Chain A
Amino acid sequence: KQEVTQIPAALSVPEGENLVLNCSFTDSAIYNLQWFRQDPGKGLTSLLLIQSSQREQTSGRLNASLDKSSGRSTLYIAASQPGDSATYLCAVTGGSNYKLTFGKGTLLTVNP
């Protein structure tokens, strides 16, 4: 059974700081890994999707890496802004039915 763990559960940083969110998964037989952002009371917004054959993906100030063999991914956020404050969720797709399994998320607060 796939399990996804995200560390830390919460993170508070001053504006402008670079930061890293961590995600680990127990079963390396995945198709892809997806990072989402969830704002309070809102739905999920897909940030980056990394296919299992890829090592990283970049979008603006965000960079996500994937090490499938070790079951780890990181989300790097450069020059953080207060608008980045949200919960960041990591999810992996696996199994014959392409099931998406989520971690419990990291609550990020960027202080002005």
Chain B
Amino acid sequence: DTAVSQTPKYLVTQMGNDKSIKCEQNLGHDTMYWYKQDSKKFLKIMFSYNNKELIINETVPNRFSPKSPDKAHLNLHINSLELGDSAVYFCASSQGVTGGPFEQYFGPGTRLTVT
């Protein structure tokens, strides 16, 4: 069974479109994250949710809006896509009431290409 899953795995779209990426974890974790890995392979946190509450928001454009319907899911919606949004987006989760300094488990990534 996949611990952290993301859909879709690949997403190709045109500039100006709106798209969503979904993430689900079946580990019973309280905290979920979104990371962006750019073309230079540098991985950087975007958002973190703990029990459906936003706890990290790393100066990401407000075109990016995370949504957590329950603690097992954290979706990422992106409005008005730009060329610079092309990257691999990773979802991750960890246990702990406030996220804690716990081990993070990563999903397989979603490769977003904006043309």
Contacts and interface: CB of A to CB of B under 8 A. Distances in A.
B55 A31 contact: no
A59 interface: no
B108 A43 contact: yes
B109 A46 contact: no
B52 to A, nearest CB: 16
Given A43-B108, A97-B48, A97-B56, A89 B43 contact: yes
Contacts of B48: 97, 99
Contacts of A43: 4, 90, 106-109
Given A43-B108, A105-B41, A99 B101 contact: no
B65 interface: no
Interface string B1-43: 0001000000000000000000000000000010000001111
A90 to B, nearest CB: 11
Most-contacted residue by chain B among A49, A98, A105 (CB, 10 A): A98
A46 B103 contact: yes
Interface in B78-115: 90, 92, 96, 98-109, 111
11 contacts: A32-B101, A42-B108, A42-B109, A43-B4, A44-B106, A46-B105, A91-B43, A97-B48, A98-B98, A99-B45, A100-B45
Interface of B: 4, 33, 40-45, 48, 55-56, 58, 90, 92, 96, 98-109, 111
Closest 9 A/B residue pairs (Cβ): A31-B101, A44-B106, A43-B108, A102-B43, A98-B99, A43-B106, A93-B101, A49-B103, A32-B101
